Structure 1
Amino acid sequence: MRSSSFLREHQQYRPPPKPDSHYGIDTVVEDLQATSVSAREISPFKGIPSPENPPKVVDSGVRHELSHPNCTPKAGEQTERLVATLFYRSTAPRVSNAIPSPKKAATPQGSRSPSLRAAAAESDIPPTMAPSSSLDSYPLEPPAAEPEPLDHLYGSYVTPMCITSFLHLMTTFPLPKGSTDLTSAHRCLKLDASPEQHPVVVELTLSPAPAKDYLSLADLRKHELIYRFEREWNVDVALRADTLWRRYPRLVVFDMDSTLITQEVIDLLAATIKDPPDLAARVADITHRAMLGELEFDSAFRERVKLLAGLPETIFEDLRPVLEVTNGVRPLLRALKRLGVKTAVLSGGFLPLTSWLAGELGIDYAHANEVVIDEASGRLTGEVKGRIVGKERKRELLIEIAEKEGIALEQVVAVGDGANDLLMMDAAGLGVAWNAKPRVQMEASARINGDSLLDLLYLFGFTDEEVRQLSA
């Protein structure tokens, strides 16, 4: 606690308790006629409260001054507010550092496990922890231990202690010149399904925001203290300036593979080729490295398309029933449509499937790569028409669509998961990493690591009740 007042820290007003029997002012006056007034000094009311003399509430020894730092500022002034949306990662609980030994017997000495990931799945020990049984199955130089997950102690949701810890963290950053105190207000946007209905998405409004000349918003998002807080409390923190555009997006642009759908289309295509038998694994490896940013996307895409030469052009129609739409996409698009928001899908995949999916979901714009089909045989030649829809092209398309619709970039939201989405996300007013690769998680404006893309609406300040109304 930073002071003796819990109410002051959380900016909440709790009225004094009413008497058990209250009969109105007339009865109270009659009862007071035979009552002697104590000699205690009574401060008379001296007109309208002012900033110098704010109204005060005294309740059970707690002194609370009613102030209005988050209200509309005076004419000619501007309030710099910061909005922090805390998402509890209920789908990815962290393992405590005090962990038991592996579930299964250790790998025999002298043998190497074919897959460290498979070995880690068979054990209670996370892959980032030191080995406790077999040095052959784990790195000899383990990373430093993560901070102990505090949600194990205080509750697996966004607890009051979590909120207080975040507010305390934010007080470590300097305020703008002339500001003496940091005030806050919070709203619970989403509750979990437990009988107690604990909050799992909470929006905090801080006023004023940390001094920009000391720490920009982009640097604040990447600050080590923010990252450590996220790891300790198992939350994702999305920081945004509290501007008008935050609440009113007009264009939302999506990546397709591993964003709107759960698969990578090019991997599905490679899986249909049985000769050579390792083709699917080779293509999947190139895809994974390209999404991590280890390979240049355009050349990696051309290399993968060459491996698909000989596939019939009907393969795109055959894959339609196989595509698995990400959970929450359909209600999210219904909500955006009701809000009058334009939508687009910019995919590094293939136009026949991208256009079909956009039509199925009601997306306004669809752009992707076109492959060359041999007219005589009706099969893929392994070549690509025109420019690859890579990171540069995605950024250009986002700007073109915004200009065509007359939409300012501050009102554009871009959602993706791979390194080829970073330029597109940087051009938008808000770039959201959806269950993304590590590099994308670090670079994006906001992160959502959950099981429903519908959580995107909480970044705009909608409550769970409003989200249900919009997506019904």
Structure 2
Amino acid sequence: MDSQDNPAKQARADRPQLSSMRSGSFLSDHQQYRSPLQPDSHAHFGIDTVIEDLQGARLSPPKSFSPFNGVPGKDDPPPRIVEGLSHDFSHPNCAPPRGTASQRIIATLMYKTKSSSPHHHPRLNSSSTSNIPANFAPTTNPDNFPLEAPPAVEPESLDNIYGSYISPMCITSFLHLMSAFPLPKGVTETTSSHRCLDDPEHPLVVELTLSPAPSTDYLSLADLRKHELIYRFEREWNVDVVLQADTLWRRYPRLVVFDMDSTLITQEVIDLLAATITNPPDLAAKVADITHRAMLGELEFDAAFRERVTLLKDLPATIFEQLRPALDVTKGVPQLIKALKKLGIKTAVLSGGFLPLTSWLAKELGIDYAHANEVVISDAGRLTGEVLGRIVGKERKQELLLEIAKKENVPLEQVIAVGDGANDLLMLGTAGLGVAWNAKPLVQMEASARLNGDSLLDLLYLVGFMREEIEMLTI
């Protein structure tokens, strides 16, 4: 009796057999129950597809395999992507060989929102109102004729072409720039990866990891930060470039030290004090000029400060209380201090201003340490024009940073210092990371990092926090 005449035998024949199950799978045998997957460059493969494709695969001709190091060679085929998962094989996250140290470098590119608005470009909106032809002299008087050609117009920023943010072209240009620097001996290529720390569509902050860093035998990190090519790139793309060695200490600071005037607040306190004196009428302008020259490094800070305090003689001591409401705290400072406290990071303000206002502001913001100058007050309750003790200038700020770090048992590699003036340079140079905040030109060039933005909260990007993490810390 054949199978057609025996229903039981027919049923057994229709059952899946063990041998067929061993050679495939239910999903493989029933592809009609899911949509067909076209293996093109944009396809995403499910995990079952990846596993099934490995069944019966053979290598012909056989070849030897080198140990996997996390970065496939340039001739290797592109990796298959598991559905729902992805991996950037260019990311140099593999540990270095045993007995060696990592040589990665972190480059944080931050768009200068303060110096340029995405919606306003002067050259786009400018129009000439002159009726004088371009080939005519600007004057008919030979004595006034210019002896030199007028300065060239500032070249248009590339972000005006590619977008007012950290565009893909900006990142590509930066990687091309970094490829110009010599690599360590024995290394032929650099691997890189990047993270958008704020907005994946139009990021203003992008963190790039390059491995290895340029050879320190040719160019130290300090010299690389000051390199003319980096400076030109910043001007062309309207960004700040912050270069840091990728070390454990970069991600875990334990002490942040701030200057006060033009850093934690937007004003210079001594200028505010001088503005309250109406006689002589030009006093405020004189004090402001001395302040400006001292911040530029043209005058010795200690002597300049004593000279300005002398001009404030006979002001009532109550002036410090009266000025409290006038202090304009820099945008992002309250949120930054709150975030640092949540992270268990100690904070300090080292000010070349006046202790009554510095102590009050530190208490208001929740800053742990406050140091500033103490003025002498007469029995009549007025300023005598003298300063008690040492001036909190550049040397004293450096000493106070070292004292606080020692007291808190914090290595200098885990200290961040932020300031804007020439009297902050020693402090910035002593800390593991010295940040010039909207600083004077000399400080911009000498500091290990520079930020020119609207909010001091941007400081958290330099230690690798993403925007959503910063928002969690500031709630």
Query: Structure 2-normalised TM-score?
Result: 0.80
Q: Which amino acid aligns with 1:290?
A: A
Matched position secondary structure for 2:100: coil
Q: Which amino acid aligns with 2:279?
A: D
Tell whether 2:197 aligns with 1:179: no
Alignment match, 1:378? 381
Alignment match, 1:57? 77
The verdict on how the C-alpha distance between 1:72 and 1:275 changes in structure 2, with shifts beyond 3 A counting, is same
The verdict on how the C-alpha distance between 1:157 and 1:139 changes in structure 2, with shifts beyond 3 A counting, is farther
Matched position secondary structure for 1:190: coil
Alignment match, 1:150? 158
Separation in structure 2 between the aligned mates of residue 27 and residue 83 of structure 1, nearest angstrom: 37
Matched position secondary structure for 2:261: coil
Tell whether 2:369 aligns with 1:365: yes
Separation in structure 2 between the aligned mates of residue 141 and residue 348 of structure 1, nearest angstrom: 43
Q: Which amino acid aligns with 2:97?
A: K
Does the aligned pair in 1 maintain the 2:378–2:384 contact within 8 Å? Answer: yes
The verdict on how the C-alpha distance between 1:18 and 1:380 changes in structure 2, with shifts beyond 3 A counting, is closer
Separation in structure 1 between the aligned mates of residue 410 and residue 325 of structure 2, nearest angstrom: 35
Structure 1, 82-91 or 250-259: larger mean CA deviation: 82-91
Does the aligned pair in 1 maintain the 2:91–2:192 contact within 8 Å? Answer: no
The verdict on how the C-alpha distance between 1:358 and 1:51 changes in structure 2, with shifts beyond 3 A counting, is closer
Q: Which amino acid aligns with 2:414?
A: Q
Deviation for aligned residue 1:363: 0.4
Alignment match, 2:265? 261
Alignment match, 1:167? 175
The verdict on how the C-alpha distance between 1:434 and 1:156 changes in structure 2, with shifts beyond 3 A counting, is same
Tell whether 2:388 aligns with 1:400: no
Separation in structure 1 between the aligned mates of residue 268 and residue 49 of structure 2, nearest angstrom: 72
Alignment match, 2:392? 389
Matched position secondary structure for 1:258: helix
Separation in structure 1 between the aligned mates of residue 190 and residue 306 of structure 2, nearest angstrom: 53
Separation in structure 1 between the aligned mates of residue 390 and residue 271 of structure 2, nearest angstrom: 21
Tell whether 2:431 aligns with 1:411: no
Does the aligned pair in 2 maintain the 1:54–1:65 contact within 8 Å? Answer: no
Alignment match, 1:430? 433
Deviation for aligned residue 1:26: 12
Alignment match, 2:251? 247
Deviation for aligned residue 1:65: 11
Separation in structure 2 between the aligned mates of residue 223 and residue 167 of structure 1, nearest angstrom: 15
Alignment match, 1:78? 101
Separation in structure 1 between the aligned mates of residue 318 and residue 466 of structure 2, nearest angstrom: 44
Matched position secondary structure for 2:204: strand
Deviation for aligned residue 1:18: 3.6
Among 213, 219, 224, which residue is 1:215 paired with? 219
The verdict on how the C-alpha distance between 1:367 and 1:27 changes in structure 2, with shifts beyond 3 A counting, is closer
RMSD value, Cα: 3.4
The verdict on how the C-alpha distance between 1:96 and 1:212 changes in structure 2, with shifts beyond 3 A counting, is farther
Alignment match, 1:9? none
The verdict on how the C-alpha distance between 1:468 and 1:67 changes in structure 2, with shifts beyond 3 A counting, is closer
Matched position secondary structure for 1:395: helix
Deviation for aligned residue 1:74: 2.0
Separation in structure 2 between the aligned mates of residue 365 and residue 51 of structure 1, nearest angstrom: 47
Deviation for aligned residue 1:53: 10
The verdict on how the C-alpha distance between 1:24 and 1:342 changes in structure 2, with shifts beyond 3 A counting, is closer
Q: Which amino acid aligns with 1:301?
A: F
Q: Which amino acid aligns with 1:319?
A: L
Deviation for aligned residue 1:77: 1.6
Alignment match, 1:113? none
Matched position secondary structure for 1:368: strand
Alignment match, 1:468? 471
Matched position secondary structure for 1:186: strand
The verdict on how the C-alpha distance between 1:134 and 1:438 changes in structure 2, with shifts beyond 3 A counting, is farther
Deviation for aligned residue 1:148: 3.4
Deviations 1:93-128 (A, max 9, x none): 28577884567x89xxxxxxxxxxxxxxxxxxxxxx
Q: Which amino acid aligns with 1:298?
A: D
Aligned residues: 417
Does the aligned pair in 1 maintain the 2:262–2:268 contact within 8 Å? Answer: yes
Matched position secondary structure for 1:425: helix
Alignment match, 2:329? 325
Matched position secondary structure for 2:240: strand
Deviation for aligned residue 1:89: 1.1
Does the aligned pair in 2 maintain the 1:271–1:279 contact within 8 Å? Answer: yes
Among 208, 222, 230, which residue is 1:226 paired with? 230
Q: How do 1:436-451 and structure 2 match up within 5 A?
A: 436-451=439-454
Alignment match, 1:7? none
Q: Which amino acid aligns with 2:292?
A: H
Q: Which amino acid aligns with 2:327?
A: L
Query: Structure 1-normalised TM-score?
Result: 0.81
Matched position secondary structure for 2:349: strand
Separation in structure 2 between the aligned mates of residue 222 and residue 47 of structure 1, nearest angstrom: 43
Tell whether 2:115 aligns with 1:89: no
Does the aligned pair in 1 maintain the 2:418–2:436 contact within 8 Å? Answer: yes
Q: Which amino acid aligns with 1:57?
A: P
Deviation for aligned residue 1:79: 2.1
Does the aligned pair in 2 maintain the 1:57–1:66 contact within 8 Å? Answer: no
Q: Which amino acid aligns with 1:219?
A: D
Alignment match, 1:17? 43
The verdict on how the C-alpha distance between 1:292 and 1:143 changes in structure 2, with shifts beyond 3 A counting, is farther
Q: Which amino acid aligns with 2:43?
A: P
Among 341, 347, 370, which residue is 2:345 paired with? 341
Alignment match, 2:277? 273
Does the aligned pair in 1 maintain the 2:257–2:347 contact within 8 Å? Answer: yes
The verdict on how the C-alpha distance between 1:290 and 1:341 changes in structure 2, with shifts beyond 3 A counting, is same
Among 297, 300, 309, which residue is 1:296 paired with? 300
Which structure's CA Rg is the greater one? Answer: 2
Deviation for aligned residue 1:161: 0.5
Q: How do 1:301-316 and structure 2 match up within 5 A?
A: 301-316=305-320
Tell whether 2:286 aligns with 1:282: yes
Does the aligned pair in 1 maintain the 2:71–2:90 contact within 8 Å? Answer: no
Separation in structure 1 between the aligned mates of residue 246 and residue 368 of structure 2, nearest angstrom: 28
Q: Which amino acid aligns with 1:372?
A: V
Deviation for aligned residue 1:142: 4.8
Does the aligned pair in 2 maintain the 1:147–1:228 contact within 8 Å? Answer: no
Structure 2 unaligned residues grouped into runs of 5+:
1-39, 81-86
The verdict on how the C-alpha distance between 1:134 and 1:49 changes in structure 2, with shifts beyond 3 A counting, is farther
